[in-house]
Structure 1
Amino acid sequence: MSGSGSLAEVSGLTIGPTAGGPPVLHDARLTIGRGQVLGVVGRSGSGKSSLAFGLLGHVRPGLERRRGTVRVAGLDPFGRTDARRLRGRVVSFLGQDPASSLNPALRIGKQVAEAVGLRSSAPRAGDVGAQVEDLLRSVGLPADRAFQRRLPHQLSGGQAQRVALAIALAGTPRLLVLDEPTSSLDTALAARMRRLLVDVLSDGDRSALLVSHDPVWVSSVADDVIRLDDGRIVEARTPPLPPVPATVRARPTDAPAAGGGLYVKELVAVHGREPVLHDVSLTVAGGSCTAVVGPSGSGKTTLARCLVGLHRPARGSVAWREDASGSDGRVAAQLVAQDARGALNPRESARTALMRPLTGLRRQPAEKAAAEAGRLLGLVGLPPEVLGRRPGELSGGQRQRVNLARALAADARLLVCDEITSALDPETGGGVLHLLNSLRRTLGLTVVLVTHDLAAAARCAEQVVVLDAGQVVESGPADRVLAHPEHAVTRELLACAAHLPPGTSVLPVLEQE
């Protein structure tokens, strides 16, 4: 995919907090050639997103450009006039929180059409409609009128990611800046996204900066890869050969004994008039973890919202019972959302986020609530100084831990975790899963883990439920479902998780940790 000549150059770019302190990006230097795909990998908080934003002439709130230059197609993205000429037309961006980039009040067809209209030369109405359909189909989405009339909240995380990609591709920009483009996708769709990007970039004239915490994914797409650590480029290399198949490890079953649990019976949910869940039934024993897996758009997020009362089912029931005798009781169910940044008020500190449920729901006096907020922050492995920080000043892993602490502040007994590791690097994501297991054992929590990461399901769950097209197609003990899958959807997810082509007969081997 590499071409000749340079499209973008970064020289000595240094970005740091406006209040002073160590830079988050230090003396970054790189060149992106025409038709080249440059991959950027590193842990959460290593400076990857700051580098990506730099190509757009943007720095996050609380940060500033201290020195260094950026040139894209000979223009300065930090200059106001040049930025208007570049953004959307020459360089286009897809962020790791796609839902936050979509207008919640506009239907998705309208949003894609607006992008086409702004970036094309005097398009006719018929041409715009045809381009919208082509863009949606190119990213694997339906192009029919019913789908185009959906609002963003009616999309799964993976669907929102692909709508945002369609918008980024509108107007055929020359440089794509992709920040964690697979963070919301199941393994099968991540493989499809990889093939899609290869096709999009195959003409040799379009370039890309591909930021990800998944070095395997990046290596399969990029011509060259650089690695960031603590804001510094510490390694630049050509991608290695694809790795050997991954091994999914099933952890020993060690859920605490607890009575009762969550009972979901014949649940039906719709968006508008379109059915999304069809007669879904499942049981989660008290103190245990059940993983809900499935392709993007299978209904996982809608199910999660139904479990915590954010989406009213059309039919069926969701009930918590205190013990096996069936006596009904009340439970504080809390959703830990996929979009960790969007779930927190950007203007509020972590202290405020934790104090609100403590004083509002649990009626604790301010002094006691302040002490409890500090205790909860320590419980999720964060230092006291995080209490005074806002979401923009935290890494992805830190934001997710604050969200967990806020759920605990509400005295939750049931945690519904929706793709909580999707935007995190493997090390940070593993830390969050370890924390979740630890909290479950210590506090006797019941957990529903919605995820497309089958390794996470194997690590945390005793039971696995597989959704496809809004229906339960397979369920049972994790070691059986993941070692001996019966349904084609489960087999495909496992094959893609192991970086193997769909349909292969070789499946990951489950081992005890």
Structure 2
Amino acid sequence: MTGHVPARPAGANPLAEIGGLTLGPVAGGPPVLHDASLSVPRGRVLGIVGRSGSGKSSLAYSLLGHVRPGLEVRAGTVRVAGLDPFDRADARRLRGRVVSYLGQDPASSLNPALRIGTQIAEAVRLRSSAKRAHEVRARVEELLLSVRLPADREFRRRLPRQVSGGQAQRVALALALAGTPGLLVLDEPTSGLDTVLAEGMRGLLADVLSDGDRAAVLVSHDPAWITSVADEVIRLEEGRIVGAGPPQARVPAPSRSVGSPAGGPGSESARRTGSDGGLSVRGLAAAHGRAPVLHGISLTVPAGSCTAVVGPSGSGKTTLARCLAGLHRPVRGSVEWREDGADRGRGAAVQLVAQDARGALNPRESVSAALTRPLRGVGRRSAEDASREALRLLGLVGLDAAVLARRPGELSGGQRQRVALARTLAAEPRVLVCDEITSALDPETASGVLDLLDSLRRTLGVTVVMVTHDLTAVARCAERIVVLDAGGVVEAGPVDRVLTAPEHPVTRDLLAHAGGAVLAVPDQRR
């Protein structure tokens, strides 16, 4: 599954073409995508990069004949295999058979009431020539193994809520591959994957494109990963294509050496906030149905500190996060928050910022309603005060007042993630459990969110548990790190020691696949 997608000659007959596409709000106003044109030859990989909200997903959606709610096509053409995806008859011939899509919120594409094996089997029957029971079962097992998931009966019988975010990402990818499509459109395909699986995605793409007759369009905020897999990269800024060319020329791989922000985790202010109380986990065990997920988890997170939880996809990170927030009942063990009493009047002690921001937000509720409801409930604010505070929280996460009137479906993935963080802050938590909150963000926005978390720790004494596969974020923000594998803690300790001298093979494997670069730990932590 590992490997590099080899360079391929451009075909004379493009599989997909977009010409002069302009998208704008139905009610009028400036376009969100302006005069965009691209060509995707067979056997090639096209990368699309840009900041959150730059129009990356909107451009990718157009290859499916889809625009976000509230937008319309103002000009331009789209063709896939010579067909118009915006034409209903052509769309029925294209979707799932000629073009398949994997979104950045994979869990939202899975039916929560159907078992994983059943969902993939239905896609196989609908989109492939396999019809007999043994043929369908063999194809389901083949698809699961191809995306590095178990193919046994126990895993196939799990419901979507019983798998990790990274596993849900790969189940959705298996669904996308069920009909052997000619064009794969993947929106942030590595956002829920650990470093080992993210690198393994290269090998999967190489296998899918090996016959030279298929193509892929990849939307990503990870320039280093795009550089390693794409033949060409286009960059979007504020809805306009501002650059196109070979990935090396347009997207230099960023340095993995990171420094601590001023007054960051190693500072005296951060150490002072952690002097009293904290989050204590003792002997925690959890299961999904009869399948054990966590066993014997014990850890302590001092008040005002940041502890990172890392590990391979499926190791139990998300289940641990949900247990900490009281959203998943453990089989045994305890989770306790202790404090000196100074802050007991604030909101719920532990709040979760979920990995699936789309699923965490009410699709029928505006951003304004999502923020003001907890503000009025926790702080007993007037409607006017709640509106002012909602605007302030949006500013904290890098969004402006224009977002308040929108619903989640009208936002980009990065914007939804920041709204989810703002809503969590509205509840005035003492512990923030952040599950992959930077996975859908571009590097600049992710850096701003990490700075925000550090500021909350220093100014409010908020305690942070960061569940992540981004080891640069760990090196930047956390003081301690806990490594999970197969539901247990395999290594734990100070960040500087674990990242520079890992003892367990799982930790060493994660570091080895982190872009092949050394993670520099700030001096003030030593």
Q: Which amino acid aligns with 1:138?
A: S
Counterpart residue number, 1:92: 100
Is the CA contact (8 Å cut-off) linking 1:268 and 1:278 kept in structure 2? yes
Whichever residue aligns with residue 230 of structure 1, its letter is E
Match for 2:226: what amino acid? V
- Which residue does the alignment assign to 2:273? 257
* Contact 1:320 1:331 survives alignment (8 Å): no
Post-superposition Cα deviations, 1:313-364, rounded to whole Å, max 9, x if no partner, equal 001000011149xx9x995211011122322122212211112212334444
Distance 1:156 1:113 in 2: 20
Distance 1:420 1:13 in 2: 31
Q: How does 1:277-316 map to 2 (within 5 A)?
A: 277-316=294-333
> Partner of 1:138 in structure 2?
146
Given that 1:47 and 1:228 are in contact with CA atoms closer than 8 Å, whether structure 2 keeps it comes out as yes
Q: CA separation in 2, counterparts of 1:238 and 1:202?
A: 20
- With the length of structure 2 as denominator, give the TM-score of the two structures: 0.91
Query: Quick one: which amino acid aligns to residue 58 of structure 1?
Result: H
AA matched with 2:266: T
Q: Deviations over 1:245-279 (max 9, x none)?
A: 94343525121424100000010001111111110
Q: 2:149, 2:130 → 1: CA distance?
A: 26
Partner of 1:205: 213
Contact 1:185–1:296 (Cα < 8 Å) also in 2: yes
Output the amino acid matched with 2:489. Answer: V
Equivalent residues of 1:250, 1:479 under 8 A apart: no
Cα distance, 1:90 vs structure 2: 0.6
1:12 aligns with 2:20: yes
Contact 2:304 2:461 survives alignment (8 Å): yes
| Partner deviation per Cα, 1:112-165 (whole Å, 9 max, x = no partner) | 001101102361111011100000000000000100011111111110010001
Stretches of structure 1 that go unaligned for 5 or more consecutive residues are 501-505
TM-score, normalising length from structure 1? Answer: 0.94
Tell me if 1:274 matches 2:282.
no
Contact 1:2 1:204 in 2 (8 A): no
Structure 1 counterpart of 2:479, from 454, 462, 484 = 462
Asked if the contact 2:348–2:427 (Cα under 8 Å) also holds between the matched residues in 1, the reply is no
Question: Residue type of the partner of 2:90?
Answer: D
C-alpha displacement at 1:512, in angstroms?
4.1
Partner of 1:510: 521
The answer to whether the 8 A contact 1:2-1:34 is kept is no
How far apart, in 2, do the equivalents of 1:120 and 1:59 lie? 27
Aligned partner of residue 421 in structure 1, secondary structure: coil
Q: How many Å separate the matches in 2 of 1:76 and 1:128?
A: 31
2:368: which partner in 1? Answer: 351
Mapping 1:230-249, distance limit 5 Å: 230-240=238-248, 246-249=255-258
Paired with 1:57 and 1:479, the residues of 2 have a C-alpha distance of: 48
CA–CA distance in 2 between the matches of 1:140 and 1:94? 16
Residues of 2 paired with 1:183 and 1:378: CA distance? 24
DSSP-derived class of the 2:360 partner = coil
Equivalent residue, structure 1, for 2:30: 22
In the alignment, the residues of structure 2 paired with residue 67 and residue 176 of structure 1 have an alpha-carbon distance, to the nearest angstrom, of 24
Partner residue in 1 for 2:3? none
Q: 2:338 aligns with which of 300, 318, 321?
A: 321
Of 432, 438, 444, 1:421 maps to 438
**Superposed counterparts of 1:71-220, under 5 Å:** 71-121=79-129, 123-220=131-228
1:503 maps to which residue? Answer: none
Displacement of 1:370 in angstroms is: 3.1
2:44 is the alignment partner of 1:36: yes
Picking from 57, 61, 84, the partner of 2:65 is 57
1:443 corresponds, among 438, 460, 465, to 460
Q: CA RMSD in A?
A: 2.1
Q: Does 2:397 correspond to 1:384?
A: no
Report the Cα offset of residue 402 of structure 1.
2.2
| Distance in 1 between residues matched to 2:120 and 2:472, nearest whole Å | 34
Residues in 1 aligned to 2:449 and 2:410: alpha-carbon distance in whole angstroms:
19
> In terms of mean alpha carbon deviation, does 249-258 or 178-187 score higher?
249-258
Determine helix, strand or coil for the equivalent of 2:273: coil
**Residues of 1 paired with 2:227 and 2:518: CA distance?**
22
Offset of residue 209 of structure 1: 0.9
- Aligned mates of 1:85, 1:472 — CA distance in 2: 48
Equivalence for 1:340? 357
The change in CA–CA distance for 1:79 and 1:159 in structure 2 (over 3 A counts) is same
| Change beyond 3 A, Cα 1:331–1:83 | closer
- Residue 403 of structure 1 is aligned with which of 384, 400, 420? 420
Any idea what SS the aligned residue of 1:29 has? Answer: strand
8 Å CA contact retained: 2:347, 2:429: no
CA contact (8 A) 1:464 1:481 kept: yes
What CA deviation, in whole Å up to 9, does each residue of 1:49-69 have, x standing for no partner?
111111111101011111111
Would you say the 8 A contact 1:96–1:183 is kept in 2?
Answer: yes
Which residue number in structure 2 is paired with residue 486 of structure 1?
A: 503
Aligned counterparts of 1:244 and 1:46: Cα–Cα separation in 2: 20
**Matching residue's letter, 2:256:** T
Gaps of 5+ in 2: 1-7
1: CA distance between counterparts of 2:62 and 2:69? 13
Deviates more, 1:30-39 or 1:167-176: 30-39
CA contact (8 A) 2:223 2:253 kept: no
Sequence identity percentage:
72
Q: Report deviation, 1:3.
A: 5.0
Superposed displacement of residue 244, structure 1:
7.3
Deviations 1:470-506 (A, max 9, x none): 1111111111111211111111111211x22xxxxx7
Q: Which amino acid aligns with 1:317?
A: S
SS in 2 for 1:480: helix
Structure 1 residue 210, shift from structure 2 partner:
1.2
Rounded to whole Å, the distance in 2 between the matches of 1:70 and 1:384 is 33
Q: Distance in 2 between matches of 1:376 and 1:8?
A: 41
Say whether the 8 Å CA contact 1:397–1:432 is kept in structure 2: no
Separation in 2, partners of 1:23, 1:383: 17
Q: 1:71 to 1:457 in 2, by over 3 A?
A: same
SS at match of 2:321: helix
